[in-house]
């Protein structure tokens, strides 16, 4: 598109979607798209994936260091004690459930929680941020219990985050594999560079707006189907395909209709999403425990059929879907579960932004008409408007 002749600004052509643009430095996570490697503060997620807890990842993102036993017990206790909501926020959830989606309810809950927190200096912000990490899990479980007309299950601060969430959601004792599976999920989705929702949290924090405003921005951004909303759509697809032998025709039709296949493609990863293999393996384990290998085999065949036709990677949302499904999580809670994990990264990024802040304000290249003649209202003839 040629610029209007008298546009004085020699602004260069924008990069669509800011692809490849480096917006700032971070010490939190590094996403190596060429090699498919994800690290939190330098620790490879392959080392964190199977033998640690979500609380350990939170310690890394907040302390930039592996926790000692004492630090980990302190974090587990703090998060456990934070899994409590003010009565007024429980009322907000009660009023909204059934009328709005769980993700819209969660966005409102995060905003409402901000009313029950004092503004504190940066030095005291970490405990406030961690409270939100704990509260979001309770809110997600409560949204489900209330809309199903089930009694609310109070948090047990003595338990780990993943275990207590499953207990609050289902009202029964989760198995060891289920606790491991949810821990893995929460660890793997905790942070991921400047993905859209994290970046929106940083833009909001960059104005020195408060923590809850920044996280409300992030929740809203995550809800889109091109980002955190893809897991729900991926599950709908897996259920619609139903059996492995249906996958080929389904994917052929989708590509012929130029549809985007949810759970595939990524702006940064070019060879593989570092998190895929862990999610895939854990999905197989949970499906085996549930005696439901059909879901796993169908997902696997969909992946094969997509990769046969287009070199796009399987992203984090694809195997997240059957994994959460087999943990008995209702599909419309998948994106809230994503938020339950990513709030660790979001809050860590907000703290990082505040610590070394500069307002985030890129430019736009104006390509509209320039220097147009103003006509006073009384002289504007009807026919033109
Ligand atoms: C997440 O950024 C992060 O880190 C995000 C995330 C995180 O942890 O925070 O990893 C989580 O959001 C994962 C992405 C979840 N979204 C989806 O699964 C939705 C489906 N995916 C696509 O919409 C797409 O792949 C995006 C949005 C993820 C990335 O889009 P890009 O980088 O803008 O790529 P593009 O749309 O320009 O596509 C490039 C090409 C196109 O082909 P051509 O038209 O050039 O021939 O690849 C094709 C696209 O058609 N393509 C796909 C596709 N994704 C890309 N074709 C079919 N299905 C897809 N899913």
Boundaries of domain holding 258: 230-326
Assigned token pair, 110: 């995060």
* CATH code where residue 134 lies: 1.10.580.10
Whether 3 maps to a domain, the answer reads: no
- The SS3 call for residue 100 is strand
**Residues 206 and 86 placed together within one structural domain of the fold:** yes
From 383, 238, 205, select the one nearest 325 (Cα to Cα).
238
Residue 254 phi/psi, 5-degree rounding, is -60, -45
Q: Report the residue among 199, 260, 316, 317 best suited for mutation to probe ligand 1: largest number of ligand atoms under 8 A from its CB.
A: 260
Mutation probe of ligand 1 site: the residue of 16, 23, 26, 266 with most atoms within 8 A of C-beta: 266
Average pLDDT over residues 233-252: 98
The pLDDT value recorded for residue 166 is 98
What is the residue with the minimal CA distance to atom 12 of ligand 1?
227
* Smallest CA separation from ligand 1 atom 5, residue: 195
Task: Give the whole-angstrom CA distance, residue 159 versus residue 164.
Answer: 6
Q: How far apart are the C-alpha atoms of 233 and 225, rounded to whole Å?
A: 7
Which pLDDT belongs to residue 50?
82
Nearest-angstrom CA–CA distance, 173 and 40: 31
- Indicate whether 3 pLDDT > 80: no
Query: In the chain, what's the furthest Cα-to-Cα distance?
Result: 78
Nearest residue CA, atom 34 of ligand 1? 267
**30 DSSP assignment:** E
Residues 318 and 339 in one domain: no
- Residues marked active site are found at 227, 266, 317
- Domain tally, the chain: 2
Could you tell me if residue 133 is inside a domain? yes
Tell me: the pLDDT tens digits for 250-306?
Answer: 999 999 999 999 999 999 999 999 999 999 999 999 999 999 999 999 999 999 999
What are the backbone dihedrals phi and psi of residue 21, each rounded to the nearest 5 degrees, phi first?
-80, 130
Helices (H) then strands (E): counts for the chain? 16, 3
In a domain, 276, yes or no: yes
Report the pocket of ligand 1 as residue ranges, CB < 6 Å.
17, 192, 195, 226-227, 230, 260-268, 310, 312, 315-317
- Shortest-distance atom of ligand 1 to CA 263: 18
pTM here is 0.96
Determine, yes or no, domain membership for 11.
no
Give the torsion sign (CA, 83, 86, 196, 296).
positive
**Separation of alpha carbons 222 and 316, rounded Å:** 14
CA distance 149 to 24: 46
Residue 375 domain flag? no
Residues 340 and 192 in one domain: yes
**CA gap 167, 102 in Å, rounded:** 19
Mean pLDDT (the chain, rounded): 96
Contact of 324 with 176, CB cutoff 8 Å: no
Secondary structure (DSSP) of 155-181: P-TTS-HHHHHHHHHHSSPPPHHHHHH
């Amino acid at each position: 598109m040629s610029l209007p002749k008298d546009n004085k600004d020699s602004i260069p052509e924008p990069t669509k979607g800011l692809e490849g643009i480096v917006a700032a430095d971070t010490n939190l996570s590094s996403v190596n798209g060429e090699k498919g490697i994800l690290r939190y503060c330098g620790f490879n997620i392959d080392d964190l994936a199977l033998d640690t807890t979500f609380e350990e990842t939170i310690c890394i993102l907040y302390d930039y260091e592996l926790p000692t036993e004492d630090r980990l017990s302190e974090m587990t206790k703090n998060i456990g004690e934070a899994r409590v909501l003010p009565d007024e926020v429980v009322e907000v959830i009660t009023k909204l459930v059934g009328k709005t989606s769980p993700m819209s309810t969660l966005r409102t809950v995060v905003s409402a929680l901000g009313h029950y927190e004092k503004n504190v200096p940066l030095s005291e912000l970490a405990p406030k941020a961690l409270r939100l990490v704990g509260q979001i899990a309770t809110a997600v479980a409560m949204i489900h219990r209330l809309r199903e007309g089930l009694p609310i299950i109070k948090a047990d601060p003595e338990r780990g985050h993943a275990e207590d969430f499953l207990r609050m959601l289902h009202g029964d004792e989760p198995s060891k594999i289920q606790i491991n599976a949810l821990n893995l999920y929460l660890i793997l989705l905790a942070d991921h560079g400047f993905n859209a929702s994290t970046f929106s949290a940083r833009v909001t924090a960059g104005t020195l707006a408060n923590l809850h405003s920044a996280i409300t921005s992030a929740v809203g951004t995550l809800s889109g189907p091109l980002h955190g909303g893809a897991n729900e759509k991926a599950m709908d697809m897996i259920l619609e395909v139903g059996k492995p032998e249906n996958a080929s025709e389904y994917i052929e039709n989708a590509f012929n209709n130029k549809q985007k296949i949810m759970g595939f493609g990524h702006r940064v990863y070019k060879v593989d999403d570092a998190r895929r293999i862990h999610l895939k393996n854990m999905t197989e384990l949970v499906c085996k425990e549930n005696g439901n290998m059909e879901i796993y085999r169908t997902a696997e065949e969909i992946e094969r059929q997509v990769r046969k036709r287009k070199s796009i990677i399987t992203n984090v949302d694809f195997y997240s879907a059957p994994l959460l499904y087999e943990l008995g999580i209702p599909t419309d809670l998948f994106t809230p579960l994503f938020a339950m994990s990513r709030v660790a990264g979001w809050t860590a990024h907000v703290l990082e932004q505040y610590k070394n802040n500069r307002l985030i304000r890129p430019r736009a290249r104006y390509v509209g008409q320039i220097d147009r003649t103003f006509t006073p209202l009384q002289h504007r003839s009807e026919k033109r408007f």
